[in-house]
Amino acid sequence: MEDNKVKTDKTDQMSSPLKKSFKADSRQIERRVKLSGFLKSVFAVSIAMTLLVLVFLLVDIVRDAVGWLDWDFLTGNLSIFPEKAGIFGAIMGTVYMMLIVIPVTFILGVSTAIYLEEYAKPGRLKDFININLSNLASVPSVIFGLLGLALFSRLMGLGGSILAGGLTMSLLVLPIVVVAAQEALKAVPGLLREASYGLGADKWTTVSRVVLPVALPGMLTGFILGVSRAIGETAPLVVLGIPTLIMKIPQSVMDDFTTMPIQIYYWTLDTVLTPEYANLAAATIVVLLVVLFLMNSVAIFIRNKFEKKF
Amino acid sequence: MTTIENKEAVFQVRDLDLWYGDNQALKKISFDIYKNEVTAIIGPSGCGKSTFIKTLNRMVENIPIVRTEGKILYHGNDIFSSDLRVEELRTQVGMVFQKPNPFPKSILENVLYAPKIHGLKDKNLLMEIAETSLKSAALWDEVKDRLNDNAYGLSGGQQQRLCIARALAVQPDVILMDEPTSALDPIATAKIEELMESLKNEYTIAIVTHSMQQAARISDRTAFFLMGEMIEYGDTKNLFTNPRDKRTEDYITGRFG
């Protein structure tokens, strides 16, 4: 079949009538060039609007936060008096939660992706799992909160502990991590695997020595983005019933806790009675944004650093 | 098979059928590949020549829908036998692919990949293997001062010779080459062809090529495949100067393909 194709291509070229019948219309070209210039400005305006909104948001928040965001705010504990309140508990809550989310999602997520991409035979079951994973990645976080409430808080009796929150957040992040890791594995050229098999390597040797080193930067990028989503999420924890006011720093994973987004959420609820809470929320938002910004920078840094190798 | 001699057959292929799903890609292939010879497999695109060569080290089975029937004896042992490990077969029957595919590692690590995964730890021995493999692949002089550089910094032709060195480092018996020069320029191609000439003293080589000139230049024996069937097999000179089958004649005189 391929041979026939090649032949017809050749005959087409030989008896090409195109040269005689077609002449470029210069007015048409001018119109297209103008359209191209016009579209360029449309795109430029779009990005300007996006940036404008972002700048407005940042300016608004930073203005509210100025004067409130200081060392005492970062290291202090919660208080009903706005002047004394700090978010050390919330920061530690986030940190503790991450201590659960990071290992759970990385180990489960990467292993799942390796199984699906490297071991599972193509077929309906694999397609079914893949479709469900992509769907899970777009399920609203509240739903995961409800699942966590039923499974971890009630059934396993973990209540509103760090463990329950961390596991719920892990469920939320897991599909994102799996899909990102799958994409990273898919991007590894098949001829590298072939080279390894051709030298007598078995599957795991090939995966661990050839595929994973190439896929790891991509996996990490997706992983960090997934984890930073967990840091910013509020809804699942609200559903779990994380307490409003926690005066002590969590000591173990079974303790009650609060996180930065939760703190922002509760403070903004009470701004009518206590206007200063708006400033506290703004200061917390700044801290949260800085953390997320740092994490995304790390993700970009990893991606750029390892991409240069090829 | 007209030329029966006292040469030792490395591979004896007997009535090999192969299907991709319902599509039969190889039909009743039978011929021998002899020790210390270059056997070329030629034929138009889609004739099954690449499929065939990948069957010899069972790489073709990486495609899940493949099914085979018939026998391939490697030194008398059936390669489809259940007590043969494909990993072990592949350390004996190495492969060089169409596109150069070095690992994104250093030149040294590329060459030593196979010896290392197969358990060799002795540093002196490893360095010795690296040197002899790179020398056999005619690459040593070009890379000896930058063994720790990334292999992706080499030219395409150098990368392909690195892949040959990497295959040699396992100390194989046979080297399969699947259109090894199709992605290379004429100078790099000439170097690889020269290399094959010297390698056949120690190894048995089977090469798939779409270039009849290449087959005529380098091979001792040639098999002509067409639509999954082996049409003709014999001494390269005979096959090119005096083909027995009309279809072979049509192909080598450029009437199709």
List, for residues A207-224, the tens digit of each pLDDT value.
999 999 999 988 988 898
CATH number at residue B200: 3.40.50.300
Percent of chain B at pLDDT exceeding 70: 97
In a domain, B21, yes or no: yes
Q: Which of residues 161-190 of A touch B (CB under 8 A)?
A: 189
CA distance A182 to chain B (A): 19
Q: How would residue A9 be classed by pLDDT, with cut points 50, 70 and 90?
A: very low
Work out the number of other CB atoms within 10 angstroms of the CB of residue A104: 18
Q: Per the domain annotation, does B79 fall within a domain?
A: yes
Q: Which two tokens stand for residue A193?
A: 């695997």
Task: Determine the Cα–Cα distance for residues B187 and B193; give it in Å rounded to an integer.
Answer: 10
- Looking at every residue in chain B, the average pLDDT score rounds to 91
**Nearest one of B109, B13, B79 to B52, comparing CA atoms:** B13
- Give residues 145 to 174 of B whose Cβ lies within 8 Å of A: 150, 152, 163, 166-167, 170
pLDDT over 60 (residue A13): no
Average pLDDT over residues B3-15: 81
Query: Would you say residue B133 has pLDDT above 60?
Result: yes
Separation CA B238–CA B218 (nearest Å): 14
pLDDT tens digits, A246-277? 667 778 778 888 888 888 888 888 888 888 88
A127 touches chain B (CB under 8 A): no
Confidence of residue A12 (pLDDT cuts 50, 70, 90): very low
The pTM assigned to this predicted structure is: 0.81
pLDDT tens digits, A118-148: 999 888 999 999 999 989 888 999 999 999 9
Flag whether pLDDT at A228 surpasses 70: yes
The CA distance from A182 to A189, in Å, is 13
Q: Which of A81-85, A206-210, B161-165 has the lowest mean pLDDT?
A: A81-85
Question: Closest approach of chain A CAs to the CA of B4, in angstroms?
Answer: 31
In a 13 Å sphere around the CA of A144, the CA atoms on its Cβ side amount to 25
Q: Which two tokens stand for residue B211?
A: 């270039």
- Interface pTM, i.e. ipTM: 0.90
pLDDT digits (tens, 9 = 90+) for B185-207: 898 899 899 999 999 999 999 99
The pLDDT of residue A301 is 86
B22 occurs within a structural domain? yes
pLDDT at B71: 93
Which of B53, B113, B170 best tests the A interface by mutation, with the highest count of A CBs <10 A? B113
Q: Which residues of A touch B167 (CB under 8 A)?
A: 198-199
Chain A residues close to B152, C-beta within 8 Å: 309-310
> Which residues on neighbouring strands pair with residue B24, listed in sequence order?
B19
Minimal C-alpha gap between B189 and chain A (Å): 20
- Residues 56-85 of chain A with CB under 8 A from chain B are none
Give the closest residue to B35 by CA, choosing from B98, B110, B93, B102.
B93
Percent of chain A with pLDDT over 70: 90
pLDDT at A2: 42
Please answer yes or no on whether B88 and A200 come within 8 Å at the CB atom. yes
What is the extent of the structural domain holding B190? 9-252
| Whether B103 contacts chain A with CB within 8 A | yes
Domain boundaries, chain A: 92-262+296-307
Quote the radius of gyration of chain B (alpha carbons, Å). Answer: 18
pLDDT band at A4 (very low <50, low <70, confident <90, very high): very low
CATH of domain A92-262+296-307: 1.10.3720.10
What pLDDT was estimated at residue B226? 93
Nearest-Cα distance to chain A for B192, in Å, is: 18
Say if A200 is an interface residue toward chain B (CB within 8 Å).
yes
Mean predicted confidence (pLDDT) in B138-159: 93
Q: What is the DSSP letter of B23?
A: E
User: Chain A contact for B45, CB < 8 A?
Assistant: yes
Could you read off the pLDDT of B57-102 as tens digits, one per residue? 999 988 888 999 999 999 999 999 988 999 999 999 999 999 999 9
For residue B1, name the pLDDT band (cuts at 50, 70, 90): very low
